[in-house]
Structure 1
């Protein structure tokens, strides 16, 4: 079963509000087997319009990623992200790993 990834491109507009969201998200993701593999860091935008911040959370599978996004705990902190940033978020299934 392939892993899945939540990919977020973010411009923080209110650091205090976004900070509340960012502080809670890793622990919530971990409950679903998720772990950050990218969290801010350097980047070089080669094509298209970039955002100032990028994040990728790896999950063991697609269903776990969806369950994280839809869970009550994440939904409780999500308003801080929405009020404190402009962003795009996608959940994408990875390629099947070789057996």
Structure 2
């Protein structure tokens, strides 16, 4: 079964409110097996547009990623984030098929 991922791009406009969101989201991510692969960090934008913060969270399955989003724990955390900035978020199923160069 392919893993699931959250891919987020964020522009923080209220640092204190965003900190409260980060504290609150840990409960949901832990409950659904979320694991940060990217959490801020340096980046380059060779094409297109960007926001100031990028996040990739891996979940054990696509369903776990969706369930986390819909959970009461995450919806509470999300309510703390709504006025803290602008966010683009995609919940996506991972790819488990052949890779370039594989037979």
| TM-score (normalizing by structure 2) | 0.89
User: How big is the alpha-carbon RMSD for the aligned residues of Structure 1 and Structure 2?
Assistant: 1.3
Residue 24 of structure 2: aligned partner:
24
1:27 shift after superposition? 3.2
Q: Provide the rounded CA distance (Å) in 2 between the counterparts of 1:46 and 1:80.
A: 32
Larger-Rg structure: 2
Match of 1:34 in 2: 34
Q: Which runs of 5+ in 1 are unaligned?
A: none
Give 5+ residue unaligned stretches, structure 2.
99-103
- Tell me, in whole angstroms, the C-alpha distance in 2 between the residues paired with 1:80 and 1:11: 15
> After alignment, is 42-51 or 89-98 more displaced?
89-98
How many residues are paired up? Answer: 98
TM-score norm. by structure 1 comes to 0.93
